[in-house]
């Protein structure tokens, strides 16, 4: 069911410092910070050949990554995002197998404008999983 790895999201305490680390120390192609107020984060996209790294920092009140940063003050991996061809079919299959979909179970528009869902980390080895409908032929 899952296809490509789309991105790994890392919450960071200092976005400029983290962007410089990826740009200068790791030699990656790094975007300018993109504020995504509807998602409560500012994101820097690190472009790799086969996937992206998204550096996330809380934006505004009640950011979904604020508590993560409180628990992990030096930052850490927040979620991984896998592509699926059909997000509704994927959700239905997962729920039939007892996996919990977060929220009301309806896909929301993600950071790339495509439908996404999140799966409960306790059902997946302690890892928060985002599913994104790829629109690719798989």
Active site residues: 130
Size of the site for Co ion (CB under 5 A): 3
Q: Which is nearer to Co ion, 11 or 25 (CB)?
A: 11
Question: Does 18 sit near Co ion (CB under 5 A)?
Answer: no
The structure tokens 């410092």 sit at 17
DSSP string, 102-118: STTS--EE-TTSSEEEE
**Rule CB under 5 A: is residue 83 a binding residue for Co ion?**
no
Q: Does 9 bind Co ion (CB under 5 A)?
A: yes
Sign of CA dihedral 7, 56, 122, 103: negative
Residues 6+ apart with CB under 8 A from 104: none
Tell me how far, at minimum, the Cβ of 34 lies from Co ion, in Å: 13
Nearer to Co ion, 9 or 59 (CB): 9
Stretch that binds Co ion, among 1-9, 18-26, 30-38, 101-109 (CB under 5 A): 1-9
From the list 24-32, 42-50, 73-81, 98-106, the region that binds Co ion by CB under 5 A is 73-81
Q: Give me the count of residues in the chain.
A: 138
Q: Select 24 or 60, whichever has its Cβ closest to Co ion.
A: 60
* C-beta of 47 vs 98, nearer to Co ion: 47
Of 82, 115, 118, 130, the one binding Co ion (CB under 5 A) is 130
Task: Tell me how far apart the alpha carbons of residues 56 and 42 are, in angstroms, rounded to a whole number.
Answer: 6
Which residue blocks in the chain are alpha helix, DSSP H?
15-20, 66-71, 87-96
Calpha distance 94→57 (Å, rounded): 30
Binding site for Co ion (CB under 5 A): 9, 81, 130
């Amino acid at each position: 069911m899952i296809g490509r790895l789309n991105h790994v999201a890392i919450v960071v305490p200092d976005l400029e410092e983290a962007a410089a680390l990826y740009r200068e120390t790791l030699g990656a192609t790094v975007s300018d910070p993109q504020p995504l107020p509807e998602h409560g984060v500012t994101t820097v996209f690190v472009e790799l050949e086969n996937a992206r790294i998204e550096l996330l920092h809380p934006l505004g009140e009640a950011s979904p990554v604020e508590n993560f940063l409180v628990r992990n003050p030096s930052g850490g991996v927040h979620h991984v995002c896998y592509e699926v061809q059909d997000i509704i079919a994927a959700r239905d299959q997962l729920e039939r197998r007892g996996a919990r979909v977060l929220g009301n179970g309806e896909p929301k528009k993600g950071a790339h404008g495509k439908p996404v869902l999140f799966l409960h980390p306790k059902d997946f080895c302690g890892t928060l999983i985002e599913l994104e409908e790829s629109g690719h032929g798989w």
